[in-house]
Amino acid sequence: MEESLEELAELAGSAGAEIAGRTIQSRQAPEAATLIGQGKVEELRAAAQATDTGLVIFDHDLTPTQQRNLEKAIGRRVIDRTQLILDIFASRARTREGRLQVELAQLNYLLPRLTGRGAEMSRLGGGIGTRGPGETQLETDRRRIARRIKKIKDDLEGVRAGRALHRRRRSAVPLATLALAGYTNAGKSTLFNRLTRAGVLVDARMFATLDPTVRPLALPSRRRVLVSDTVGFIRNLPTTLVKAFRATLEEVKEASLVLHVVDVAAPAAAEHTAHVLKVLAEIGAAEIPQILILNKVDKLPAGEAEAETLKRRLLSEAGGHLHAVAVAVSALTGHGIDRLLSAIDALLPEEPTVRATFRVPAGDGATIALLHALGRVIETGYTGDVCVIEAEVPESLKRRIEKHP
């Protein structure tokens, strides 16, 4: 409970709140009307008045009725963990897809909470042709939100189709995709920048980066791969968000290798590891090979950075039996990055290479650049307006450009 409440405080801080106090309520069963019982409600009301607090955040999902009753009794605005996370996501989304996903989750959350918002929600329609009983403002709002939800879902289906098209195009070129996954604030973005020099935002706040980014990475074997930075996971991630971010999470599901980043300096590292493994299983990514990246070893006392020891400890505490290579790194200092790249190289299946001669129109710069980027060019010559290239290339690349015999 203490760890969960501390995480809630971090989330609130990420949203810009200042924490005036915290409290825990232990009950045999939740109170139907207020979740916490009348005595605790009075205690919260007094504490809110004494500290001049404007907002009370619950680390538990509240029903619409509970939320209304609590706001009336405490005299302050009341939100739950889900609403707090939605607020953070809304402030961090930058791409059109991210904004659509957040808006969909917010509308699904708001829809059952329209009832009882006051007299303004029960106004009757007015104007010529609408006099008489009419329809309540509540019904109008519900219908408007339902229409907006349908529109967003249609738009997101277009996003999914676009992502699928991009993945098909990527699969046409022999580039494996690596997906960075892990608990929020585990250091994924710092590691992403260290590997790819992408320059994405790095911030200690939770969910600092929300929109996924894909960048190329060159391995020691000279192979090129794509690395995708995804949204961080968190315990009790609202189901509305998991559904809304389906298009983003599919990047993990389609990856050749999952880079599971763990903040080994965090007191709850084992619990975070178990939670990420659970979410990966829920989205159908449990069978994808993983590398357990034990990040932030620079924060550990000397002698505790042994990868296998840390891996065994984490998985025994998490209760998992993950068969994964473990690499201890510090994304901040660069410690262990070479070992990580070698581990990625070793785990990714080696595609057979073939030696072939390609006759490419001299104006087809894209194909010539592709041969230089993904193959080993042995000899280049020109016959008229045709570029003749002899190169060792992956078999799939040869099949792709066989249209140039």
User: Do 287 and 150 share a domain, yes or no?
Assistant: no
**Which pLDDT tens digits describe the chain residue by residue (405 residues)?**
787 888 888 888 878 889 999 998 888 888 899 999 889 999 999 999 999 999 999 998 888 889 999 999 999 999 998 888 888 877 777 677 778 878 888 888 888 877 655 444 444 444 444 444 544 677 788 888 889 989 988 888 887 777 667 666 655 555 778 888 888 888 888 898 899 886 654 544 445 445 567 788 888 887 788 888 776 777 766 666 666 566 566 667 778 889 999 998 888 888 888 888 888 887 788 888 889 999 998 888 765 666 777 777 777 776 655 667 889 899 989 989 999 999 998 888 766 678 888 888 888 888 888 888 777 889 999 888 889 999 888 776 777 677 544
Rounded Cα distance between 237 and 186, Å, is: 16
Q: How much is the pLDDT for 112?
A: 80
Q: Judge whether 252 and 172 are in contact, CB under 8 Å.
A: no
Q: What is the DSSP letter of 233?
A: B
Q: How much is the pLDDT for 170?
A: 56
Look at residues 28, 52, 87 and tell me which one is the last residue of a structural domain: 87
What residue type is assigned to position 371 of the chain? L
User: Do 307 and 192 share a domain, yes or no?
Assistant: yes
Q: How much is the pLDDT for 239?
A: 64
Neighbours of 206 (CB within 10 A): 20
Instruction: Give 36's contacts (C-beta < 8 A, 6+ positions apart).
Output: 25, 27, 30, 44
CATH of the domain at 36: 3.40.50
Centroid of chain to Cα 163: 16
Domain count, the chain: 4
User: Do 102 and 80 share a domain, yes or no?
Assistant: no
User: Do 278 and 319 share a domain, yes or no?
Assistant: yes
Cite the DSSP H helix spans in 53-184.
Answer: 64-74, 81-92, 96-110, 137-172
Q: Judge whether 232 and 185 are in contact, CB under 8 Å.
A: yes
User: Do 222 and 341 share a domain, yes or no?
Assistant: yes
Give the closest residue to 170 by CA, choosing from 229, 95, 247, 254: 254
Give the closest residue to 103 by CA, choosing from 145, 54, 66: 145
User: Do 83 and 180 share a domain, yes or no?
Assistant: no
User: Do 193 and 113 share a domain, yes or no?
Assistant: no
Rounded Cα distance between 399 and 198, Å, is: 31
User: Do 220 and 140 share a domain, yes or no?
Assistant: no
Rounded Cα distance between 92 and 99, Å, is: 9
Task: Judge if pTM exceeds 0.85.
Answer: no
Rounded Cα distance between 386 and 346, Å, is: 38
The count of residues in the chain is 405
User: Do 188 and 310 share a domain, yes or no?
Assistant: yes
Rounded Cα distance between 100 and 211, Å, is: 11
Q: How much is the pLDDT for 397?
A: 73
Look at residues 347, 368, 384 and tell me which one is the last residue of a structural domain: 347
> What is the phi/psi pair of residue 196, to 5°?
-115, -5
User: Do 208 and 331 share a domain, yes or no?
Assistant: yes
Here the tokens at position 368 are: 């010539």
User: Do 47 and 120 share a domain, yes or no?
Assistant: no
Q: How much is the pLDDT for 204?
A: 45
Rounded Cα distance between 279 and 242, Å, is: 9
Full domain range(s) for residue 40: 2-87
Number of Cα atoms under 13 Å in the Cβ half of residue 210: 24
Q: Exposure of 176 by Cβ count < 10 A (0-12 exposed, 13-18 middle, 19+ buried)?
A: buried
Neighbours of 168 (CB within 10 A): 9
Q: Is residue 26 part of a domain?
A: yes
CATH of the domain at 327: 3.40.50.300
Look at residues 311, 330, 347 and tell me which one is the last residue of a structural domain: 347
Rounded Cα distance between 331 and 296, Å, is: 7
Q: Is residue 14 part of a domain?
A: yes
DSSP string over 358-396: EEEETT-HHHHHHHHHHSEEEEEEEETTEEEEEEEEEHH
Q: How much is the pLDDT for 50?
A: 93
pLDDT, one tens digit per residue, over 51-72 is 999 999 999 888 888 999 999 9
Here the tokens at position 261 are: 């980043």
